[in-house]
Amino acid sequence: RVEIPLDIRSLADFRRWTVSDVFPEKGRIDFIEGRIEVDMSPEDIFCHGALKSECARVLTRRVKEDDLGLLLIDATRVSSPEADLSCEPDIVFVSHEAIDLGRAVLVPKAGGQPGRFVEIEGPADLVVEIVSDTSVNKDTKRLPAAFFRAGVREFWLADARGDEPTLVLHRPGEAGFEPIPRDPEGFQTSPVLQRRFRLAATRDRRGNWAFDLLEEQK
């Protein structure tokens, strides 16, 4: 059970709540265009958790090897006053360049020591969302629209709930995110990471999904 304070009327109110001692430690609580959305459902081990882990594994390696910036997973709050948004994406990447130029700001922990931060304000370079049964509309429509308004440079949407798991890379178009065309081998090129990616999925010995995020040079 989540008790939402009655005095939250704006994004600023919500952000203050998220860093307070009474903010819930469990669940995903987002603020999207004036609406607070709460999801306390457990994470599906294979359709969500395993897929997220594989994407995070490959992206973390790429970001570390090329010293590109920060790759963060779960419970990393990203806020955008321009988009009236505060959420915790499954995976978020913020480049050194974005931080150096002030496009994205690391919000320090109140009264904390130097180097302690609790939130990212501004557009991330890349966001990954994995569709859950309890948040299909939010994951596939409301969040992508909000990320677009926030100025996110690249958006990945993964869905492993059906018979054929999918991963689609998107880039900003005129009115929203648009899928990046696939090459003849099924790869999509990431403008942010300058690599080609394709999701491969097989069944393990127990019939559960096992994922490989394939990566190649551009």
With cut-offs at 50, 70 and 90, classify the pLDDT of residue 192.
very high
- 48 lies in a domain? yes
The b/e string for 132-164 (b: 16+ C-beta within 10 A; e otherwise) is beebeebbeebbbbbbbbbbbbbbbbbbbbeee
**Cβ distance 56 to 71 under 8 Å?**
yes
Report the DSSP pairing between strands 117-121 and 126-130. Answer: unpaired
pLDDT digits (tens, 9 = 90+) for 87-139: 999 999 999 999 999 999 999 988 778 899 999 999 999 999 999 999 999 99
In the predicted structure, residue 158 carries a pLDDT above the cut 90:
yes
Task: Record the tokens describing residue 157, joined without a space.
Answer: 């949407």
- 18 lies in a domain? no
Under the phi-then-psi rule, with left for phi > 0, alpha for psi from -120 to 50, and beta for the rest, what region is 63?
Answer: alpha
CA angle 39/42/48 to nearest 5° reads 95
The count of domains in the chain is 1
Residues contacting 163, CB < 8 A, separation 6+: none
In the predicted structure, residue 12 carries a pLDDT above the cut 80:
yes
- 77 lies in a domain? yes
Backbone angles phi, psi at 187, to 5 degrees: -85, 150
How much is the average pLDDT of 176-184?
Answer: 98
- 131 lies in a domain? yes
With cut-offs at 50, 70 and 90, classify the pLDDT of residue 1.
confident
Say what the pLDDT of residue 112 is: 74
CA distance 27 to 63: 27
- Out of 25-29, 112-116, 212-216, least confident range: 112-116
How much is the average pLDDT of 135-156?
Answer: 98
- 34 lies in a domain? no
- 210 lies in a domain? yes
CATH of the domain at 103: 3.90.1570.10
Range of the domain at 61: 43-217
How much is the average pLDDT of 68-82?
Answer: 96
In the predicted structure, residue 146 carries a pLDDT above the cut 90:
yes
pLDDT digits (tens, 9 = 90+) for 39-65: 999 999 999 999 999 999 999 999 999
Say what the pLDDT of residue 23 is: 94
- 117 lies in a domain? yes
- 32 lies in a domain? no
Strands (E), 115-153: 117-121, 126-130
Report the DSSP pairing between strands 91-95 and 69-73. Answer: antiparallel
Over the chain, what is the mean pLDDT?
96
- pLDDT above 90 as % of the chain: 92
